[in-house]
A = this chain, B = another copy of it.
Amino acid sequence: MSARVYAARWVVPVATPPIPHGAVAVRGGHITWVGPKDDAPPGERLDLGDAVLIPGLVNTHTHLELTAMRGFLEELDFRPWIVRLTRARQAVLTHDLLLASAKVGIAEGLLAGVTTYADTCESGVALQAMAEMGVRGIMYQEVFGPDPSQCAASVRGLRERLASLRHWESPRVRLGISPHAPYTVSDELFVAAARLAESAGCPMAVHLAESEAESRLVRDAMGVFADGLRARGIAVAPRGDSPVALLDRLGVLGAQPLLIHCVRATAPDIARMAHHDCAVAHCPASNAKLGHGIAPLLDILAAGVRVGIGTDSVAANNRLDILDEARVALLMQRAATRRGDALTAADALALATRGGALALGLGQEVGTLAVGKRADLAVFSLGSPRTTPAFSPEDALVWAAAGREASLVLVDGEARVRDGRLVAPPADAHAALRDAADALATWRDAGGGG
C-alpha cells in the first residue's frame, strides 16, 4: 500500500512547533512521516490548501446516549436537572433511541474534528455506536448505588453488563468503569468498582467535585443531595473534607481514575490528584452553564496533572465541539484570573489533543502528529472571512475557527468526514432523534418529571 500525503498551509503536530507548508504521510492507518511538504516522501498527494492540519481532537468527557436531550433541560437547578434527566431517560428513551442518540452525537463530534471519545454511559449503547461509526474511544460503563446494601447487586449488574458488551471491544474502542458520583455511589460501591476496574484492567472515571451540593453532602452530610438520600431512607454522614479527599481515603485514587469536572478542587485536593497521577476531564461550558463555576485549571496544570477537555453531554452543554470548548476554557481562565496571558491558544489546542490522549491513557496512540501514531487527523479550512488573516495556526484555529466544521477528518487513516460532510452518516438516526424529542416533549407536557 502506498502512502497518502496530506499537505496544508500549516501542520500542527502539537508536541513540536507548527510547520508552515507542512505535510503528513499516512500508510496502513499510521502516520509515517511529518515535515515540510517539499520534503515529503512519494505517495498519493492531497493538497488541502489554506488549511490547518491537526491531530484528531479528543472529547475527554461526554454522554453520547443523551444527545436526544439537547435543549430539553434548560434553567433547572442541578439536582432537579439530574432527577428529571434520569426520569426522562427511563420513561422515554428506548435502547434504539439511545443508540440513535449516541450516533448523532458522534456524527456531530466528527464534523467538529473529534476522533476520540471518552464516554460515560448508563445503557451501554455508546460502545456499539463508537464501533459502528468508526471512531476511537473508551466507554466507561456507569454504575449507581448510594445505599451500601445495594453494593453487591450493583457490582453483579456491572459485571453482567461488561460481559455483554465485550464483543464490541476492539483495538479502537475499549470498556471502562464509572462509579457515577459521590451522591449516587456508596463508599462500599466506590471501593468495589475500583477493585473490579483494577482486576479487569479497565480504566475508570468518576464525576467529582462538580457542585457545591456534592461538596456539602460529602463534607457536612447536608444540602439537597443529603436530603434526597435521606428521603429514600439512606443513612447519610460526613465522608471527608471534600469529594477528592473521600476518594483518597477510600483508596480509589490509587486506581488513577479520570476525575470529571473538579470545579471545587482545593489546593489539598489538587495535591492528592497529582500524588496519585489521576487525570482530569475539564468541562468549562457545562461547569459554567449549570452554575457550578470555573474550575481551577491553571492550578491543576501547575501541579502536573494530566488534563483533557470535555464537553459533557448536550443536556448540559448543547454541543459536542472540542475546539469550541478549548476556546471557552481559555476565556474562562482569563476572566477568572484577570490575566490576559493565562493560557495561550497553543496551550488550549494541546489540552484538546495531547492532553486528552494522555488523560485517557492513549498517549502512545493519538494526540500528536508523530511517526508511528495512529493516523487520526482533523483539517480546518482558513479560507473564510472569519479566519482572514491568520498569523498563527493555533490562534486562528482556537480563537477564530472554533465552532466551525472540519473539512476532512481521518480515523486510522480512513476518511470519516470529507469536504465537510460525513462519509457515512448514521442511517435513520436523525429521524429517530426527532421522534425521541417528540416523545420527550410529550412526556414533559404530561407532567413527567414532577
Measured CB to CB, the residues of A under 8 A from B are: 67-68, 70-72, 74-78, 81, 104-105, 107-108, 111-112, 212, 284-285, 287-294, 314, 317-321, 324, 328, 330-332, 334-342, 344-345, 384-392, 395-396, 399-400, 402-404, 430, 433-434, 436-437, 440-441
A71-B395, A71-B396 as given contacts; A319 in contact with B386, CB under 8 Å: yes
Please give the count of copies of this chain that the complex contains: 2
Q: What are the 5 A-B residue pairs with the smallest beta carbon separation, nearest first?
A: A403-B403, A389-B437, A291-B340, A318-B399, A288-B335
Question: Are A391 and B437 touching (Cβ within 8 A)?
Answer: yes
Asked whether, in the complex, the Cβ of B289 is within 8 Å of the Cβ of A390, the reply is no
5 pairs from A and B in contact (CB 8 Å cutoff): A74-B345, A74-B392, A104-B385, A319-B399, A331-B332
| Minimum Cβ distance to chain B for residue A298 (Å) | 13
Whether A335 contacts B332 by the Cβ 8 Å rule is yes
From the candidates B112, B291, B403, name the one contacting A341 in the complex (CB within 8 A).
B291
Question: Which of B339, B387, B388 is within 8 Å of A291, CB to CB?
Answer: B339
With A72-B389, A320-B386 known, 14 other A-B pairs at CB within 8 A are A71-B395, A71-B399, A81-B340, A104-B385, A105-B385, A107-B385, A108-B386, A112-B386, A287-B335, A292-B338, A293-B335, A317-B399, A318-B399, A391-B440
Residue among A107, A386, A441 with most chain B CB within 10 A = A386
Residue pair B71, A391 in contact (C-beta under 8 Å): yes
Contact B391 A441 (CB under 8 A): yes
Residue of B nearest to A112 (CB): B386
Q: A340-B78, A403-B402 are in contact. Are A434 and B388 (CB under 8 A)?
A: yes
